[in-house]
């Protein structure tokens, strides 16, 4: 029976659940974009964004989604014909690589499969082999939303340094910023891209490119950067209009202000800890179910699992069937499996994902898990007992 008539819960890996305060802040008349309160309000976002990114360097804000941020970042430092190295831990590594190709770059991919993070040593080996230093940048995805693999970015930097390769380290934190610990400067990241609709809890529509002075110098050496993508005037505007290369995204600015206020009020360390505990609760439940049934976390090693998104395997077609049940019977929308198709499962129906990024608390995650368990029961999918008890234990012990 359809038991969905209540507050729906969208637990996909982005867009995430929008806080009431964010939506309320966006429900307003348009402001003047040339003078007045919007100007100071926008400039006030900058230090807070940098705090979230762990950088004292630069940020350019783009009206756009994550793909826009990908292209923006590349457009500032990679010219046609130049080479990038892409260690891929899932679909989104390939996605960024395709954007690089679209800009005319040569791409060298190291594929770590669908169940492993980036292996820094193999990246280092590839760089070491590049004795001519043709590789201009390494494009790494911190958390690949498709596999939920989380890679060790600090280790990657160390490995790059160990072989003395000058390539830029460019990192996609779209699925991890504001969820998983990330420290741009401390970890030696040169360029980082993010977007509004995940850990930052704002509707899709803003992309962010953070970059340090080394990256800024590379951009200065570029023969040409398109006006719209050029990060220089955006990050160091002479006048406000340059910040967004034209009309400002007025309503998103108010939403982002509200979201950053929430982040500052909770504190970044607390936010990271909250995401970790909720992720551990999820893992505990799934592992209990998997004791006597087919459900598996896609990432075997907890050290390499995202705290913001979890990819799960249930076997085709059960992944999709379970998603349909939670949505059509219980009011819970889970994420589709992405980039996980195989010959035996061309549609990827064996996989599904939980998004648990940003505005998520214990009662939401426990509701998600208990609903999934109800679906397993309803669909007669075998599963071990004690899933919720295991999750409860994690949360109770926090």
Closest distance to a copy of itself from the beta carbon of 370 (Å)? 4
Is residue 336 involved in binding a copy of itself (CB under 8 A)?
Answer: yes
Rg (CA), the chain: 21
Q: Where are the alpha helices (DSSP H) in the chain?
A: 20-26, 37-53, 66-77, 91-102, 120-129, 153-162, 184-187, 213-220, 231-235, 240-243, 250-266, 268-290, 318-325, 362-378, 387-396
d(Cα 299, Cα 297) in Å, to the nearest integer? 5
325 alpha carbon, distance to own chain's centre: 27
Q: Quick one: which of 169, 361, 382, 384 contacts a copy of itself (CB under 8 A)?
A: 361
The answer to the question of residue 290 lying near a copy of itself (CB under 8 A) is no
Residue 86, strand partner residues: 109
Instruction: For residue 178, give the 3-state DSSP assignment.
Output: coil
Question: Should residue 329 be labelled a site residue for a copy of itself when binding is judged by CB under 8 A?
Answer: yes
Enumerate residues 228-257 that contact a copy of itself by CB under 8 A. Answer: 228, 230, 244-252
- Region from 83-91, 161-169, 274-282, 286-294 binding a copy of itself, contact rule CB under 8 A: 274-282
Q: To the nearest whole angstrom, how small is the minimum distance from the Cβ of residue 29 to a copy of itself? A: 6
227 is in an annotated binding site: no
Distance CA 379, CA 394 (A): 27
Span near a copy of itself by CB under 8 A; candidates 49-57, 131-139, 200-208, 295-303:
200-208
Considering the complex, what minimum distance in angstroms separates the CB of residue 173 from a copy of itself? 15
CA distance 348 to 82: 34
342 lies in the site for a copy of itself, by CB under 8 A: no
Contact flag: residue 259 with a copy of itself (CB under 8 A):
no
Tell which one of 184, 218, 256, 278 touches a copy of itself (CB under 8 A): 278
Smaller CB distance to a copy of itself: residue 104 or 166?
A: 104
Judged by CB under 8 A, the residue of 131, 238, 269, 363 near a copy of itself is 363
Regarding 3 and contact with a copy of itself (CB under 8 A), the answer is yes
Based on the shown chain and the rule CB under 8 A, indicate whether residue 90 belongs to the binding site for a copy of itself: no
For a copy of itself, the closer CB: 159 or 245 = 245
Which C-beta is closer to a copy of itself: that of 148 or that of 197?
A: 197
Subset of 117-156 contacting a copy of itself (CB under 8 A): none
Question: Of the listed pieces 22-30, 147-155, 164-172, 300-308, which binds a copy of itself according to CB under 8 A?
Answer: 22-30
Q: Strand 58-64 to strand 205-211: parallel, antiparallel, or no bridges (unpaired)?
A: antiparallel
In the region spanning residues 304 to 323, those forming contacts with a copy of itself, defined by CB under 8 A, are none
Place of tokens 């040593």: 121
Tell me how far apart the alpha carbons of residues 363 and 376 are, in angstroms, rounded to a whole number.
20
Closest CA relative to residue 145, chosen from 73, 195, 109, 190 = 195
Q: Which of residues 59-88 bind a copy of itself (CB under 8 A)?
A: 62-68, 70-71, 75, 80
* Contact with a copy of itself (CB under 8 A) among 116, 155, 362, 384: 362
Minimal distance in Å, beta carbon 124 to a copy of itself?
29
Burial 148-172 (b: 16+ CB within 10 A, else e): bbbbbbebbbebbeebebebbbbbb
Phi, psi of 334 (to 5 degrees): -100, 165
Beta bridge mates, 172: 141, 193
Select the residue interacting with a copy of itself from 213, 226, 236, 317 (CB under 8 A). Answer: 226
Which of 44, 47, 102, 113 is close enough to bind a copy of itself by CB under 8 A? 102
| Phi and psi at residue 306, to the nearest 5° | -65, 150
Of 25, 4, 101, nearest in space to 330 by CA:
4
Residues in binding site for substrate: 353
């Amino acid at each position: 029976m359809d038991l969905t008539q209540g507050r729906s819960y969208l637990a996909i890996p982005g867009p995430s659940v929008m806080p009431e305060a964010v939506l309320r802040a966006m429900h307003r008349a348009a402001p003047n974009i040339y003078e007045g309160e919007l100007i100071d309000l926008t400039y006030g976002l900058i230090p807070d964004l940098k705090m979230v990114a762990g950088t004292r360097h630069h940020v350019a804000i783009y009206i756009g989604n994550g793909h826009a941020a990908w292209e923006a970042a590349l457009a500032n430092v990679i010219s046609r014909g130049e080479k990038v190295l892409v260690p891929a831990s899932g679909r989104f590594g390939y996605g960024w690589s395709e954007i690089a190709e679209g800009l005319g770059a040569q791409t060298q991919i190291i594929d770590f499969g669908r169940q492993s993070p980036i292996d820094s040593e193999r990246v280092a080996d590839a760089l070491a082999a590049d004795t001519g230093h043709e590789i201009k940048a390494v494009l790494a995805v911190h958390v690949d939303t498709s596999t939920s693999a989380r890679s060790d970015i600090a280790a990657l930097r160390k490995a790059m340094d160990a072989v003395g390769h000058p390539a830029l380290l460019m990192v996609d934190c779209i699925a991890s910023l504001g969820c998983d610990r990330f420290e741009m400067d401390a970890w030696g990241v040169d360029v980082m891209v993010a977007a509004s609709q995940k850990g930052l809890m704002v509707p899709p529509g803003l992309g962010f490119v953070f970059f340090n002075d080394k990256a800024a110098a590379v951009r200065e050496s570029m023969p040409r950067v398109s006006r719209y993508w050029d990060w220089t005037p955006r990050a160091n505007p002479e006048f406000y209009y340059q910040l967004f290369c034209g009309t400002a995204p007025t309503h998103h600015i108010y939403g982002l202000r509200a979201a950053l206020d929430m982040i500052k009020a909770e504190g970044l360390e607390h936010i990271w800890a909250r995401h970790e505990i909720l992720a551990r609760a999820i893992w505990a439940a799934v592992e209990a179910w998997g004791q006597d049934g087919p459900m598996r976390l896609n990432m075997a090693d907890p050290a390499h699992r995202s705290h913001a998104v979890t990819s799960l395997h249930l076997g085709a077609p059960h992944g999709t069937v379970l998603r349909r049940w939670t949505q059509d019977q219980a009011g819970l929308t889970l994420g589709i499996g992405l980039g996980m198709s195989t010959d035996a499962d061309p549609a990827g129906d064996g996989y599904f994902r939980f998004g648990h990024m940003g505005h998520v608390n214990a009662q939401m995650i426990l509701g998600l898990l208990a609903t999934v368990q109800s679906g397993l029961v309803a669909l007669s999918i075998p599963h071990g007992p004690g899933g919720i008890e295991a999750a409860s234990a994690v949360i109770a012990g926090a």
